A and B are shown apart, each in its own frame.
Chain A
Amino acid sequence: ETGVTQTPRHLVMGMTNKKSLKCEQHLGHNAMYWYKQSAKKPLELMFVYNFKEQTENNSVPSRFSPECPNSSHLFLHLHTLQPEDSALYLCASSLDTGTPSYEQYFGPGTRLTVT
């Protein structure tokens, strides 16, 4: 138990569906992250929020839309996804983004399958 929860743990969706992934952290952190993890590939940083403000968007397609209503909650809204978007989506949090030694705490991930 890392203090970061994600729901749902598994999601199967068609290419025309709209769904949302939810992340919640109970650590009092100010920074939250979305990562994509594909088999045998490095973690890909998608979005970063610090004090509810988006600070990074690493060229992520617009079919992925993040939302951060407060420092404890982070959403990833999905629509018209492609099969290549099937992956494990990990949420993480840290105290903030500007201090190098602050490690990130990860949630267990949502295993997404796009059919």
Chain B
Amino acid sequence: GQNIDQPTEMTATEGAIVQINCTYQTSGFNGLFWYQQHAGEAPTFLSYNVLDGLEEKGRFSSFLSRSKGYSYLLLKELQMKDSASYLCAVMDSNYQLIWGAGTKLIIKP
């Protein structure tokens, strides 16, 4: 079966760095997405990785290792507004997105 694993909840301090991991087992691979979802709001796109390596976008970076079935989202200089759920999703060989359950990130002052 297809499976995406990510931690249920993480806590970090304002101004710090946090890394949210995602491991996957899917039928084929056509890229990995990270989305951010604030409570009561729509998920919004953060990043897309299809090749191995690190993609940097401002305070957020996303890393992919296809051989290990592993990705992480790195958030730097954390701000209170970064408190949200972070969803990892993999596009399989049928171009369907397989979703993780999300990681709730709590930022403390």
Contact = CB atoms under 8 A, between A and B. Distances in A.
Interface stretch (A59-67, A69-77, A101-109): A101-109
B42 A43 contact: no
Main SS at interface, chain A: loop
B95 A100 contact: yes
B101 A41 contact: yes
Given A40-B8, A43-B87, A101-B50, A106 B43 contact: yes
B41 A45 contact: no
B60 interface: no
A45 B87 contact: no
B79 interface: no
Q: 3 shortest A-B CB distances, which residue pairs?
A: A100-B30, A106-B42, A42-B99
Interface of A: 2, 4, 40-43, 45, 48, 56, 90, 97-98, 100-101, 103-109
Interface of B: 4, 8, 30-31, 33, 35, 40-45, 48, 50, 87, 89, 91, 95-102
